[in-house]
Structure 1
Amino acid sequence: MPLRLATFNIENLMARFDFSGFRKQWRQDRVVKMFGVEDQELYRDLEQARLISETDDTRQLSALAIAETAADILCLQEVDDMAALQAFEENYLYRMLGYGYRQKILVEGNDSRGIDVAVMMRDRTRDGLPIELVDVRSHATLTYQDLDLFTPQIALTNQPQDRIFRRDCLEVDVKIGGRPLTLYVVHFKSMTGSREEGDARMATMPVREAEARAVRHIIEQRFDRNLANRNFVICGDMNDYQERVKVIGDRLDGYRFEPAREEVSALDIFSRDGFAENIVRRRPEMDRWTLYHARGPQEQHLCQLDYLWLSPALSRANPDAVPQIIRNGQPYRTVFPPDQAVERFPRIGWDRPKASDHCPVVVSLEIQ
């Protein structure tokens, strides 16, 4: 009987207001910029009203995307705190799904914005197998010097005592019908925020590589020689890709799509020597993307940032499993390749509201 496992960057599931845009223009919402608000109290009032209105639409769409996965276990990224997760589940998911995700796991991590990774689980799978939470471990306090991962490249932006994970590597042990499964939920360093000019992805690559090496170290230390026979999945937004689909053209002249392989990726650390399988690669080459990136018509591509990396044992036990990518919550600005267009959820906008900038990924797995 399969387990439905999903990962989803839900994009800023917040339970607080951020008023820093009044003094930091790059943090200010574009609609408020149109009005040139100079009074701080007025700005706060407008920002609260804007965010409350926008959030209701957004979270309805996020809940629709989650409902579409029909997941038994859902790994989330960009969650503010447990209060925000609880409120979202009770007021949005429950209204759509009824009896839902009663088991919730969140440990405060390292992110400067306060966004964390989390897990929500049903008590039973859709087929009635019990889902038992066995143990939870956070690895947020691991430092570069702890794992001997401090390199000259890392030294450009970090100190030896700095923490490796930008958020956390949340390790969750469960049993599915009595059979063990371990989840490693992550959200790696973004491809922005570098002090270097030029290619931001390459400039931030050393941090993501260290995060990937740390995850692999944790797993190898845990399972040692039995690794090949253990059930584990590395889940989350890894902010990197090994391939992408270039989007060339515009709406007037039309688009063409070109697949491209990357010479280097932080995720090579997982795929190297069969350590784990990116199960999304079982989909056609042009149909693996979970995010549309665009900075004007000259820089557009579709890429996979959201992953379910299966252990060798799970991969062997599920040779025919092919994941789904839920794209109905994408805004209308997202450019879809031919034959991939989907019916959007109600009230989706050109850029917003939307379910998230990311797409949920879900797969049905037999746990043996």
Structure 2
Amino acid sequence: MRLRIATFNVENLVSRNAYGPKARPQTGPALSLFDFADPEMRDHIQAAIAVALEDDERLATALAIAETRADILCLQEVDGLGVLAPFLSNYVHALGDIRYGHMRLEPGNDPRGIDVAFCARKDLVDDEARIRSRSWREATFADLGVHDDDLAAMGIAAESRVFNRDCLEVDLDLGETSLTIFICHFKSTGYGPRSGSPVLRRAEARAVRAIVERRFGAGWREASWIVAGDLNAATSAILPGGAIVDVSDSGLEPLLDDFAVDPARSLPPGERWTYFHRETAEGRVLAERHVQLDRVLLSPALAAANPGARVEILRRGLPYRVPLDPAHPDRSIGHLATRADRYPRIGWDRPRASDHCPVVVEIDLPPAPA
């Protein structure tokens, strides 16, 4: 059975005008130009700006999803089913011929309320009971045996929750075969306390590995499972001009060392990126790099059954400020803004589909063992 599986961080698909500790960051620039004497009027104007911006951005997000032609979507940064369902109905289904349903989402641990979500082609299964899900949001470091001295040195107790968002486990009974997917969104490098360290992401990676090994026991290598999501760490970086440097301490080692297989390794090294990072200070660019934060990792059995798995990274939803060719020497506005290689209505920085790229992997699922 052939399936196309996509992971996509859709960047704050939220139903609220304000979330977590701050309002939508997209509305700030326009509001800064006006002085509102009446706070209530300011709130109304902010909501109106948010709605207008959201329509442009969600059209682009839907175009990216439609281009994946995925049978299964693993999404990150979704506010809840109350926003995911109308987004699929009014945006994605209006652009493509695939109809999605079978949605699964559980409130996770992120303070902004952005969660991981699953949805699949409606005709993939004929009975909701054939899709089962479980959230691991309550699991602690102690529960999964991943607490260590590095975490203790950061003041993190063994009884703390290990996942900063969630690990959503989804089982699919597909008749002649089956598949288990673990959807993750690891700790960010730049948001909230404890940011910037690979220690937490390494603990999350170890926790996912422990969940897989407990679930399948000694036969975990022979089972059909996938780990998908925004893992917020890279094992290498592409520098301006195309030079590639290794990242020695990504935190992803527990998942990538003798465990899961990343089929994106079949791509040329200069094509293995899903996110563009730029560091600036006082108007000057200090560093730029293209990195792969988003992955669809295959179990050893799935990797062996799909040695030529097709991998696509879709970049037409990125803003024009992002160079799609890391090796091209011209980073000027004049060059980048005239590429005509993005979706309609994409802007210099916004509107955009997301700051991440969808990753699609096409595989054949082997029959379930007798």
State the TM-score, normalized to the length of structure 2.
0.88
1:193 Cα shift?
A: 3.7
Change (3 A) 1:312 1:45: same
Equivalences for 1:1-368 in 2 at 5 Å?
1-18=1-18, 29-37=28-36, 39-98=38-97, 100-124=99-123, 133-155=130-152, 156-193=154-191, 201=196, 204-247=197-240, 256-273=241-258, 275-296=259-280, 297-337=285-325, 343-368=341-366
SS of the equivalent of 1:257 reads: coil
CA contact (8 A) 1:154 1:206 kept: yes
The one-letter amino acid paired with 1:272 is: D
The one-letter amino acid paired with 2:277 is: H
SS of the equivalent of 2:211 reads: helix
The one-letter amino acid paired with 2:137 is: A
Output the CA distance in 1 between the equivalents of 2:145 and 2:80. 31
Question: How many equivalent residue pairs?
Answer: 350
Gapped runs of 5+ residues in structure 2? Answer: 329-338
Q: Which moves more between the two structures, 144-153 or 68-77?
A: 144-153
Change (3 A) 1:162 1:54: same
1:1-28 Cα deviation digits (max 9, x unpaired):
4101100000000111117888x89897
SS of the equivalent of 1:46 reads: helix
The one-letter amino acid paired with 2:4 is: R
Change (3 A) 1:38 1:303: farther
Output the CA distance in 2 between the equivalents of 1:107 and 1:195. 23
Change (3 A) 1:35 1:99: same
The one-letter amino acid paired with 2:314 is: I
Change (3 A) 1:174 1:21: closer
CA contact (8 A) 1:75 1:118 kept: yes
The one-letter amino acid paired with 2:159 is: Q
Identical-residue share of aligned pairs (%): 39
Q: Which moves more between the two structures, 29-38 or 317-326?
A: 29-38
1:217 Cα shift?
A: 0.2
Output the CA distance in 2 between the equivalents of 1:234 and 1:265. 17
CA contact (8 A) 1:176 1:367 kept: no
1:57 Cα shift?
A: 0.6
Please report the RMSD computed on the Cα atoms of aligned residues, expressed in angstroms.
2.4
Which residue of the partner structure matches residue 253 of structure 1? Answer: none
CA contact (8 A) 1:131 1:174 kept: no
Change (3 A) 1:44 1:20: farther
State the TM-score, normalized to the length of structure 1.
0.89
CA contact (8 A) 2:151 2:199 kept: yes
1:124-169 Cα deviation digits (max 9, x unpaired):
35xxx87973321111100122223333332325333221101111
1:94 Cα shift?
A: 1.5
Output the CA distance in 2 between the equivalents of 1:326 and 1:183. 21
Change (3 A) 1:29 1:20: farther
Output the CA distance in 2 between the equivalents of 1:65 and 1:28. 23
1:33 Cα shift?
A: 2.2
Output the CA distance in 1 between the equivalents of 2:24 and 2:302. 47
The one-letter amino acid paired with 1:319 is: P
The one-letter amino acid paired with 2:13 is: L
Change (3 A) 1:276 1:185: same
The one-letter amino acid paired with 2:147 is: F
CA contact (8 A) 2:20 2:113 kept: no
